[in-house]
Amino acid sequence: MTASAGRGIGGLVRRPGAILVVVVVLLAVLPFGLAPYALGVVALGLVYGLFTYGLDLSWGRVGLISVGQAAFFGLGAYALTIGVSLGVPWMLAAALGVVIAAGIAGLIAQIALAVKGETAVPLFILFTLGISQLLQRVATSMPEVTGGSNGMVAPTLDLVPTYYLVLAVTVVVVGLTFRFFVAGRRGAFQLAVLVNPARAEHLGISVRGTQTAAFMISAAVSAVAGALFAPVAGLVTPATLGLALSTSVLTWLAVGGKGSLIGPFLGAVLLTVAAQTLGRTWQSWYVFGVAALFILVVRFAPGGVAGGARRLLLGRSEVLRVPSARPVRRPSAPPPTDAPLLQVEGVDQRFGRSSVLQDISLTVRSGQCVALIGPNGAGKSTLLSVIAGLLRPSAGRVLLRGEDVTLYGVDRRARLGIGRLFQVPSVFTALSVADNLTLAALSGGSTDKAPADARLAGELSMAERRHLELDMVLRGPSDLVLLDEPAAGLSHADARTLAQRLRRVVADTGCGMVVVEHDMEIVREIADRVVVLSNGAIIASGTMDEIVAHDAVRHAYLGS
Q: Is 417 helix (H, G, I), strand (E, B) or coil?
A: coil
Decide if 344 contacts 398 (C-beta within 8 A): yes
Question: In the prediction, which pLDDT does 152 show?
Answer: 94
Domain limits of the chain?
Answer: 8-314, 342-558
Q: What is the assigned CATH class of domain 342-558?
A: alpha beta
Decide if 257 contacts 303 (C-beta within 8 A): yes
Q: Give CA 432 to chain center in angstroms.
A: 18
Bridge partners, 533 (sequence order) = 538
Q: What is the pLDDT along the chain (560 residues), one digit of tens a residue?
A: 444 443 333 443 455 566 777 878 888 888 888 888 888 888 999 999 999 999 999 999 999 999 999 999 999 999 999 999 999 999 999 999 999 999 999 999 999 998 877 788 889 999 999 999 999 999 999 999 999 999 999 998 888 899 999 999 999 999 999 888 988 888 999 999 999 999 999 999 999 999 999 999 999 999 999 999 999 999 999 999 999 999 999 999 999 999 888 899 999 988 888 887 776 667 667 777 777 888 888 777 778 887 777 666 655 545 566 665 555 555 444 555 567 999 999 999 999 889 999 999 999 999 999 999 998 889 999 999 999 999 999 999 999 999 999 999 999 999 999 999 999 999 999 899 999 999 998 887 666 666 777 889 999 999 999 999 999 999 988 899 999 999 999 999 999 999 999 999 999 999 999 999 999 999 999 999 999 999 999 999 999 888 888 888 877 775 64
How far apart, in whole angstroms, are the C-alpha atoms of residue 327 and residue 440? 9
Question: In the prediction, which pLDDT does 323 show?
Answer: 62
* pLDDT tens, position by position, 357-399: 999 999 999 999 999 999 888 999 999 999 999 999 999 999 9
Q: Is 258 helix (H, G, I), strand (E, B) or coil?
A: coil
| Residue 247 DSSP one-character state | H
Question: In the prediction, which pLDDT does 9 show?
Answer: 37
For residue 485, is it left (φ>0), alpha (ψ between -120 and 50) or beta?
Answer: left
Question: In the prediction, which pLDDT does 554 show?
Answer: 79
Domain 8-314 = CATH 1.10.3470: yes
Decide if 382 contacts 348 (C-beta within 8 A): no
Which H, E and C letters describe 419-471, residue by residue?
EEECCCCCCCCCCEHHHHHHHHHHHHCCCCCCCCCCCEHHHCCHHHHHHHHHH
Decide if 443 contacts 205 (C-beta within 8 A): yes
How far apart, in whole angstroms, are the C-alpha atoms of residue 181 and residue 210? 11
Question: In the prediction, which pLDDT does 5 show?
Answer: 40
